[in-house]
Structure 1
Amino acid sequence: MSEIFNKEILNQMKQGLNKIKNPIKIITFVEKGKPLCDEVVAMMIQLTTLNNKIQFEEYDLIKNSDLAEKYRIDKVPGTTILVAGKPTGIKFYGIPTGHEINSLLFAILESSGMTTPLESKLEDAIKQIHKKINIKVFVGLQCPHCPKAVMTAFKIALLNNNIDAEMIQSNLYNDLSNGFGISSVPRTFFNDKDDLLGVQPLQMFVEKLKNI
């Protein structure tokens, strides 16, 4: 299996991942022959060599449909992160390379307990959401602004078990992107309806959550 990152990038990533606090497990669901599945698996295997607190498991979406349903993964390649065996609500659909490496590193570090502080008013508002909410962030891997939207969504999911957040590689899932009318990225949807275009502050995300 080919390697995704060269030595220079691996060294840079290793430095960042040295900050991991608690062990995490990355799980990727694949289907044989589907685009980017092999590449995502290779990428995650490389990550495990950078820090022994990162574990990785690969599953087949069809053969392991019970697990896929448990973690609410419905596309391949679909990747999620577990902490102490429990889902974080973070999902990557596609391959988090390009600028989305930043989203991946953020997700790993934040899941591990290396959390960045938020204004207490906003954090309390997120934690007080009691509805089940799905956040979809459509991205392009060469979009420098997309990771900020993804990281905001991931931060929210980590603060509230009722919320899950997805990074969706827009050019990989053309039917889905067309269905949502994606013409520019980042674009964020809340329960497939209310949306935000471009990079917006956390406050705007919170307002959308409160109004659902």
Structure 2
Amino acid sequence: MAQQTLIADRDKVQLKRTFRKDLKADVALKFFTQKPSVVTVPGRECPYCLQTQQLMDELASLSPKLRVETVDFYQESQTAFDHGISRIPAVAISGAGASPGEFRVRFYGIPMGYELATLVEDIKTISRGVSPLSTASRRKLRQVNQPVHIQIFVTPADATCPVPARLAHAMALESPNISADVVEIQEFPALAQNYRIRTVPFTVINEHIRFAGAVTETQLLDKVIQAGVRGESSGRSTG
């Protein structure tokens, strides 16, 4: 029996057309997973690793500009550490040939539903080198001089999640001091409990800034500046 595809045939046709038109430079997608095993090691369960591998394979088949590399999280732990990967399944994205520190855009959990659209937009942004952020936001992000780690917790079925997810990833692409994770919260219930998440989207910045609900570009930018700018001439925005 043939394996059921994760991306519908009609969507594959559209994505092929989109990638052919919009992709300029090659894009690297590093997929962190574990080798399949008949023995389940407690604490190392990864029920969506195989599905995420299938999704990466299907995406890679849609454009020669998409380069997927699979990394074993446990056997290549140093590589995972160098890329800032702390759990699986995970996908880190950057331009082809980028160093590990440049993979600051990450997905944890399988990026399906609305988050597949987020992944596609990230791919287009990286390939074209054109930011979706306003010129004013990009200028303010140059002030960030401290490490900023943004986590956007999402579910695949929530239509309000892609906006903050895209904004966080765009900001990570704009500043070498910013990294951004989009986390599918249903796959990581311990994180939901740890952060007391009751609704999505839910944003955590450097652990101490936390808020629920949709967010605009200006609102997220203000929080990032609050967390990532030190010095009297920070030009910190308010609101």
TM-score when normalising by structure 2: 0.85
Shift of 1:117: 4.6
Q: CA deviation at 1:8?
A: 1.1
Deviation at 1:101, TM superposition (A): 1.1
Q: Work out whether residues 88 and 157 of structure 1, in 8 Å CA contact, stay in contact via their aligned partners in 2.
A: no
For 1:72, which of 67, 81, 84 is the aligned residue? 84
Query: How far does residue 200 in structure 1 lie from its aligned partner after superposition?
Result: 1.0
Question: Counterpart of 2:31 in 1: which secondary structure?
Answer: strand
Of all paired residues, the percent bearing the same amino acid is 23
What is the alpha-carbon distance in structure 2 between the residues aligned to residue 116 and residue 28 of structure 1? 24
2:92–2:104 Cα contact (<8 Å) kept? yes
Matches of 1:168 and 1:27, distance apart in 2? 16
Q: Deviations over 1:104-131 (max 9, x none)?
A: 0011111112524533221111122011
In the TM superposition, 1:37-56 aligns within 5 A as: 37-56=49-68
**Aligned CA distance change for structure 1 residues 132 and 116 (closer, same or farther; 3 Å):** closer
Separation in 2, partners of 1:144, 1:15: 24
Q: Distance in 1 between matches of 2:72 and 2:4?
A: 20
Provide the residue aligned with 2:235 in structure 1. Answer: none
Partner of 1:62: 74
- 2:174 aligns to what? 159
| Alignment correspondent of 2:164 | 149
For the residue of structure 1 that corresponds to 2:104, the secondary structure is strand
Residue of 86, 98, 108 corresponding to 1:85: 98
Task: Mark the structure with the bigger radius of gyration.
Answer: 2
Structure 2 unmatched ranges of 5 or more: 37-44, 228-239
Higher fraction of strand: 1
- How many angstroms does 1:210 deviate by? 1.6
Q: CA deviation at 1:193?
A: 1.7
Aligned residues: 212
User: Aligned residue for 1:7?
Assistant: 9
RMSD: 1.4
Amino acid at match of 2:72: D
| Range with greater deviation from structure 2 (155-164 or 79-88) | 79-88
For the residues of structure 2 that align with 1:69 and 1:120, how far apart are their CA atoms?
A: 33
Q: What is the deviation of 1:54?
A: 0.4
1:90–1:145 distance in 2 versus 1, CA, 3 Å: same
Which whole-Å CA distance do the structure 1 matches of 2:132 and 2:30 have between them?
A: 27
Partner of 1:99: 114
Shift of 1:64: 0.5
Matched, 1:196 2:199: no
Work out whether residues 152 and 202 of structure 1, in 8 Å CA contact, stay in contact via their aligned partners in 2: yes
Q: Which sections of structure 1, spanning at least 5 residues, go unmatched?
A: none
2:19 aligns with one of 17, 21, 24: 17
TM-score, normalised relative to structure 1: 0.95
Cα 1:59/1:88, change in 2 over 3 Å: closer
